[in-house]
Structure 1
Amino acid sequence: MLDDTMTENVIVEAAEAMSSELSGASVFRAEEKSTPSLALREWRRSPTMLSSQTAAQRLSGRMPPPLAINRHGRPALLPNALITTPHRTPAKTGIYPHVLLSVYYPQIFLILTSGSYLALSSVVALGANIICNKIPGLAPRQRAICQSRPDAIIVIGEGAQLGINECQYQFRYGRWNCSALGERTVFGQELRVGSREAAFTYAITAAGVAHSVTAACSQGNLSNCGCDREKQGYYNQEEGWKWGGCSADIKYGVEFSRRFVDAREIKKNARRLMNLHNNEAGRKVLEERMKLECKCHGVSGSCTTKTCWTTLPKFREIGYILKDKYNEAVHVEVVRASRLRQPTFLKVKKTQSYRKPMDTDLVYIERSPNYCEEDTSTGSVGTQGRLCNRTSPHTDGCDLMCCGRGYNTHQYTKVWQCNCKFQWCCFVKCNTCSERTEVFTCK
């Protein structure tokens, strides 16, 4: 996780690198780096204040009162804020497309680290090359996509974070709860062991990116894509409806996810085959769960004609399906080419035939560790201090969660207002209720 000073240094360093490229522009620093600025403290309380301001508002000067003022009297939106003021008259849009990365993308630094939201607010003047070079974990092909599509990299980051959040929800009651992924960059995360857990993280992240890109296209938030027009106007005579509305272009989302997510698999080894298979399995599950929505047209509510379109499923549904596939994950081994001895394809282990796993199966090549103790080599954070259920026989129970080490009991009293009634006139009278509660944590 990046602390305040480290993230500020990233911003300042990027600005210094870019200052030599910007002709006719001045870069100012709001204040010293020693302590978090007023802007930072205010943004942590109300982050939407900054992200709601448009690029045109910022550059034209029509914007809400600033959170901080730099030494030149200009608004400072970040600690060590970068305020770029072109010396020549700006274009009508107020943006130089080849010089500025538009602040219509206020979440550009979400992709720096998922554990620190310091720099989520808008950055007025950072070029795409500078931004992409500062994102940790990108493979060369991913960095090239970032530089050519800075608008898409924001959506990709949101999709990857969507997958991580779903992973943490699905495994919230297990010894391994996906928490380590939340502390890393949302790109390039990898469990070192090729286990079931690694299979799930790759599948859910690839599906999350495809889901996020498809949704952004349907909402008009990405260039070069939109609604799926392939079947627009086609009439289904058997069921009596025609294609219409804005169908989600899942093919574009899946292909974009394939181009970006799969690009990080550079090494030609068994783990690469495993990761690519699980990436595709996650996208395949999403594609198969697309939903058909319809709207009736006719007099007095009749359904004389019906228009239908495809929509994305709730991502929670994808999470449940992939969790089931995690429970039934297939142990595979690599078949190597006879000459080059390089990994060629995967086959189900412990079978005499060369039977390949199904397209939507999650596959793994190594058995999972027990995740009882902290071990950086396996990505295990251990279970010490985890909450557990004393009476549960399942994975959230203290016996299983604590790996036989025992548990601590904590007692506290919960107090709240209850039985509230309106009294004439005019106040509400409540009683005070309390409840003594016990919680249990692993030793």
Structure 2
Amino acid sequence: MTVAEKTRIETGDDGFMLDRATETMPRDKLRELQLERLKWSLGHACTNSPFYAKAFAEAGVKPEDLKSLDDLRRFPFTLKTDLRDTYPFGMFAVPRTELRRLHASSGTTGKPTVVGYTAGDIDRWADLMARSMASGGARPGDVVHNAYGYGLFTGGLGMHYGAERLGCTVVPISGGGTERQIMLLQDFASRVLCATPSYALNLAESAMQMGVDPATLPVSCGIFGAEPWTEEMRAELDRQFGIRSVDIYGLSEIMGPGVACECDHAREGLHGWEDHFLFEIIDPETAETLPMGEIGELVITTLTKEALPIIRYRTRDITRLTDEPCGCGRTHLRIERITGRDDEMMIIRGVNVYPSQVEAALVGAPGLAPHYQIVLEREGAMDAMSIEVEVVVGAAESDDDHDRIAADVRHRIKGLIGVTCKVRALPPGSVPRSQGKAVRVRDMRKKS
């Protein structure tokens, strides 16, 4: 089915229609629109945000210095620490009285990062989420089971508003109460499941424990995100639920979910919505801009945000961009699946290791459940990594069986990643389950 043919069925009950003209805009016209909106965003930030007025002055640049999109590299980066240093409202570009909503990070490592939205921001966010969900396979009239967390986390409400904007029926279940969720998935005949991939696996496991084959649930579309996940994890989710799952991407600092989303046509990279965001790739060490197609750190600039314009935000996410045409007809560039975060990279005996590499080596391995944790410890002057994996029911009947599986995993990790590590093969149910974002790395180095 072509994009043009899908226009009719992707019109919400409230009259909202997806902007197919923008989604399929020729790339030269898209660049013209980006330049126009970027000039506005820089001017808005400099005029109304004391933080950006100071940052631009210190960098010796003014909004009117931007003549082309390439000139953006002259402007300073924004870091996550900038939001913490200006906590709570120091980066906003509108009066507090114009804010209609606040979201915030958990703040587990210090002050949380606080983001705000005007009424216009929330409206555009809903539009982009509807666009993203339609791209991923959701349709007007679908029942959407939304198991993303509600509250200060942007995932739950972001998905909620987008699904309603698309014309779907939303089940605002949030996380937790897993057995009840299985019952409601059956009773409400939810076609779309929205959750973190780790919690979706938890749902599948709980369904089997209840005697329900997850593949018999009415779900046929899974929109998963909020944490890194691999192709191996996707294959496991597709197999267990009998679905085609897609990846959705976002950051609360930029907007929330809906900055980019895969299309269910190709599932080969996430379409980044370039009419609202400008994407760059930089060398994480030198901060130099890299050409299209090279791997580096993703940097995002907002083009239409009113409350909190963000200029050149260093996401720390490692990926690459491609502007090659997609079979779905959308012309917006694609962001390859995030391979890891620059600040999550582990150096184990001189080898750079990302948690996603470990996941790729474990998920789908014989005898293993798709649940694991990486444990980091300090051994002398070096960091050491051990891995706790979980065997499936019936795969290990004795200590010798557990030892054999652990040895197989050690060999697999050594062969695929190039590091030697300790492995513990644990009985079924031993690895903690996620009610939202999975905790994949347990760092014991500060405690040793």
TM-score computed with the length of structure 1 as normaliser: 0.24
Normalised to the residue count of structure 2, the TM-score between the two structures is: 0.24
Q: Which structure is higher in strand share?
A: 2
Q: Choose 1 or 2 for highest CA Rg.
A: 1
Bigger relative CO (Cα 8 Å, ≥ 6 apart) = 2
